[in-house]
Amino acid sequence: MNNSIENCWATIGVWSKGVEKCPKLKEVLHCRNCDVYSSAGRSLLKRKIPEDYRDYWTALLAKEGVIKSHDTLSIVVFRLGDEWLGLPAKTIKEISEMRPVHGIPNSKSNVVKGLVNVRGELKLWVSMGTLLSVDKGERYVFSELRKSFLERLVIISKDNEHYVFPVSEIIGTHRIWKDSIREVPATAANSMYSHLAGLFKLEERHVGLLDQDLLFSSLQRSLV
């Protein structure tokens, strides 16, 4: 193996300023796909180990490995007004773009807002915000355009019961360590907290994990 690195990528490759072009570029398109470039990169490893690096790894390797529990939960995390909430991914049937809601005449429930057409099936449109008494939100203020861009409809189902509710934003499915889920503070007494199974932190957000059984039974009760 030769020790001198010829930096052809800077002279005739993609990082060159001149007009000279390496003939291999036609084939590999970019220097990073070229074996000359990758072998030059690997040859950087052909240097003496710094003593402190060696000490660091010796100490690190001697430590007992931390065994984490491998129990995880897949949770879909969404925002409702000001609050970040999560539901187990298996309860979520579908997430779709916003659709028009059709009001139900003489409906007395303030949770049920109407009916929505999802692939030809009429489903109940409920307001999670009203059920959980979550404010519309002042913390996340977006323009109308941005807002409508982020809003989604979430379709949840359990034992052939389906509900549709709008959310302000969805940030996808996340896998959470079961033992990173904290208990809900006992002093928290509002309707949202009483529907939570736990709390966890996702990046900088505090996310409330909704108790799905409780949620469905509350929704059922709100129909009458």
Partner 1 sequence: MLFLLFHIGGDRYVIDARKVLEVVPLVKLNNFSSAPDYIAGLCNYRGAPVPSIDMRYLIENVSSQPFMSTRILIVKYNAGGEGLDHLLGVIAENAIETIVLEESGFRQAAIQSSEQNYVSKIMTDARGIIQWIAVDQLVSSRDRDILYGSEVEMGE
Q: Which residues bind partner 1 (CB under 8 A)?
A: 42, 44-49, 53-55, 57-58, 61-65
Closest distance of CB 1 from partner 1, Å: 8
In angstroms, give the least distance from the CB of 157 to partner 1: 42
C-beta of 52: minimal distance to partner 1 in Å?
12
For 213, other C-beta atoms within 10 Å of its C-beta total 11
Residue number with CB closer to partner 1 (36 or 95):
36
Distance of alpha carbon 48 from alpha carbon 61, whole angstroms: 20
- Rounded least distance, CB 68 to partner 1, Å: 14
For partner 1, the closer CB: 44 or 141: 44
Comparison of 58 and 143: residue with beta carbon closer to partner 1: 58
- CA-based nearest residue to 85, from 185, 206, 182, 166: 206
Partnered with residue 101 across adjacent β-strands are 116
The rounded distance, in Å, linking the Cα atoms of 213 and 91 is 10
Q: At which residue do the structure tokens 């889920």 appear? A: 181
Give the nearer residue to partner 1 in terms of CB position, either 42 or 182.
42
Cβ contact 164:126 at 8 Å:
yes
